[in-house]
Amino acid sequence: MAEIERPQIYLITPPEFELSSFPGQLASVLDAHEVACVRLAMASQDEDRISRAADALREVTHARDIALTIDSHVQLVERLGLDGVHLTDGARSVRKTRKELGADAIVGAFCGASRHDGMSAGESGADYVSFGPVGATALGDGTVAEHELFEWWSQMIEVPVVAEGALTAELISKIAPVTDFFGLGAEIWGTDDPAAALGELIKAMG
């Protein structure tokens, strides 16, 4: 039965990283654990920096047959040979992006804690909808994507759902039965051993 399947990992890069060391670090995490997809989520708007980072990470992910998506930069997906885009404006640009990138590209939408946005994104052709933050964080406006949202979504909607943002082992074990993916990044990259930190969080899924 599908319900018993353990959620997959959607790994999110740090907003800032050293190109000399991070690809190696990413490779060791990918070699240690099964990861479904990696998202390049740089804070920088400098296209040259983003392009160089994408090239380096694409080598690492594609060598392992793992998809690489990028935050927001729709126009860079085809140019950089990436697998898709993670849109951060809810459902607003899903339809246009799907048209632009075609049927094969991954188009995901971050919808905060809005059930309505999530449904609209799914209807507009999103491959997945992401809700968060799941835990309390100083970022954003304090709105948290509650357990009930994931529970309702998993029962009513076919579009895969991602839980991300301020996740803890406790939250992961609670939400694991009602989500398809966990978007993890900040939770592991700040630790001394990201691969081990991810291992602990995977264990929490039960």
List, as one string, the DSSP characters of 23-35: HHHHHHHHHHS--
Task: Confirm if 175 and 147 have CB atoms less than 8 A apart.
Answer: yes
For each of the chain's 206 residues, which pLDDT tens digit applies? 344 589 999 999 999 999 999 999 999 999 999 999 999 999 999 999 999 999 999 999 999 999 999 999 999 999 999 999 999 999 999 999 999 999 999 999 999 999 999 999 999 999 999 999 999 888 778 899 999 999 999 999 999 999 999 999 999 999 999 999 999 999 999 999 999 999 999 999 98
3-state SS, residue 6: coil
* Helix-helix angle 194-204:22-32, to 10 degrees: 40
The dihedrals phi and psi of 205, each to the nearest 5 degrees, come to -70, -20
* Helix-helix angle 115-123:147-156, to 10 degrees: 30
Domains and CATH numbers, the chain: 2-200 (3.20.20.70)
To the question of pTM greater than 0.85 for the whole model, the response is yes
Task: Confirm if 123 and 97 have CB atoms less than 8 A apart.
Answer: no
Rounded Cα distance between 136 and 144, Å, is 7
Rounded Cα distance between 14 and 43, Å, is 9
Tokens of 60: 């690492």
Tokens of 199: 């291992």
Task: Confirm if 171 and 134 have CB atoms less than 8 A apart.
Answer: yes
Burial of 136 (0-12, 13-18, 19+ CB in 10 A): exposed
What's the chain's Rg over C-alpha atoms?
16
